[in-house]
Amino acid sequence: MSLSEFELISRYFSQPRSPRADVILGVGDDCALLQPPADRQLAISMDTLVEGRHFSPGADAHDLGHKCLAANLSDLAAMGAEPAWLTLALTLPGADADWLGGFAAGFEALATEHAVQLVGGDTTRGPLSITVQAHGFVEPGQALRRDGARPGDLIYVSGTLGDAGLALRVAQGLSVAAEHLPFLRGRLHRPTPRVALGRALRGLASAAIDLSDGLGSDLRHICEASATGATLYLQNLPRSAGVAAYVDETGDWTLPLAAGDDYELCFTVPPEHQVAVEALATTVSCPLTWVGMIEKGAGLRAVLPDGRHTDEIPNGYDHFAND
Ligand code: ADP
Ligand code: MG
């Protein structure tokens, strides 16, 4: 079945399941008209998924709808912002109704869960590429920026690390015990943006970032922005059963340390807020694990499980590495 551009937009993208009162005019006119709250700053983030680069040809459309939105909500979470509005730029090789139905369902389900509304976008023809922009609100002065870490702050991460990376290796042929597969695949294809955690960390965390490229490389961004360094204790890195088994078997720490796509939060906590932050794990139903310390000396270091120190931390994903 073939659809015109306008049929496609009206069928799949113009009937929000969670309409918001602050959307004065949504999809359908030249611009959306939005009413931001008077006393909030607007937090804006954009992410693109390109076929062949971020996902394989033939990837499930529902998963893609979920993931492109999850990546953006994760950025808002990392700033402590409350998600509100979305725009979506789709470049499609054709108007495939099955694909569009699956994509829109995945997108809408996560949008509804977070009470965010798609308010506009753009649709063009070409190689499959998906760009989402998310808009959120944050109280002035309360955003969790990358530049607030100070020597003596504790470093925490949410959830478990390396799951998406392990699922990717499985897709490339690595074999792991079958019992781990559903969890690992869920982590790769339907990541959970830690929005409630990000909101709860306002006033408690001194800096935060979401883990899209890998802990080593993302923590480096905090250290550089904050003009500090850090030490990570590898034994503490939270590992799911599948990643734990992989690390135990191979002695290879690259997955929890440098694999991307987990969309967990890494954040720094001044010692006086440690107790309050640890209590949040229950409130937001998400494990929070202490993994290291912010220090004065620049650079990233790690203490291995056997007590040896290293400063050779593998870097995470870089689109322009090795060009
Ligand atoms: P214009 O030509 O004025 O830019 P378009 O024809 O591109 O408008 O889009 C018509 C309407 O549909 C606009 O409100 C636009 O924001 C919306 N729109 C287009 N593509 C999408 C999409 N993929 N998702 C959501 N809204 C979309
Ligand atoms: Mg126009």
Mean pLDDT of the chain: 95
Decide: 294 in ligand 1 pocket, CB within 6 A.
no
pLDDT digits 0-9 by tens, 125-172: 999 999 999 999 999 999 999 999 999 999 999 999 999 999 999 999
Distances (CA, A) of 317 to 137, 216, 304: 29, 10, 22
In sequence order, which residues have a C-beta less than 8 Å from that of residue 175 and are 6 or more positions away?
A: none
The preferred substitution site among 9, 30, 118, 124 for testing ligand 1, maximizing ligand atoms within 8 Å of CB, is 9
Question: What is this structure's pTM?
Answer: 0.95
Nearest CA to ligand 1 atom 14: 28
Place of tokens 């290879």: 252
Residue 310 has, within 13 A of its CA and on its CB side, a CA count of 12
Decide: 8 in ligand 1 pocket, CB within 6 A.
no
pLDDT average, residue stretch 50-63: 95
Distances (CA, A) of 233 to 5, 215, 308: 52, 12, 10
Q: What share of the chain is helix, strand, coil (3-state, %, to 5)?
A: 35, 25, 40
In sequence order, which residues have a C-beta less than 8 Å from that of residue 292 and are 6 or more positions away?
A: 154, 155, 219, 230, 231, 232, 233, 236
Ligand 1, atom nearest to 5 Cα: 6
pLDDT greater than 50 at residue 1: no
User: What is the side-by-side order of every strand in the sheet holding 299-303?
Assistant: 207-210, 265-269, 154-158, 288-295, 229-233, 299-303, 309-310
Which phi and psi angles does 197 have, rounded to 5°? Answer: -65, -45
Nearest CA to ligand 1 atom 12: 28
Ligand 1 center to residue 121 CA distance, Å? Answer: 5
Query: What sign for the dihedral angle of Cα 291, 296, 300, 306?
Result: negative
Decide: 88 in ligand 1 pocket, CB within 6 A.
yes
Task: Name beta bridge partners: 58.
Answer: none
pLDDT of res. 5:
86
pLDDT digits 0-9 by tens, 29-45: 999 999 999 999 999 99
pLDDT of res. 81:
98
Distances (CA, A) of 298 to 102, 167, 202: 46, 33, 26
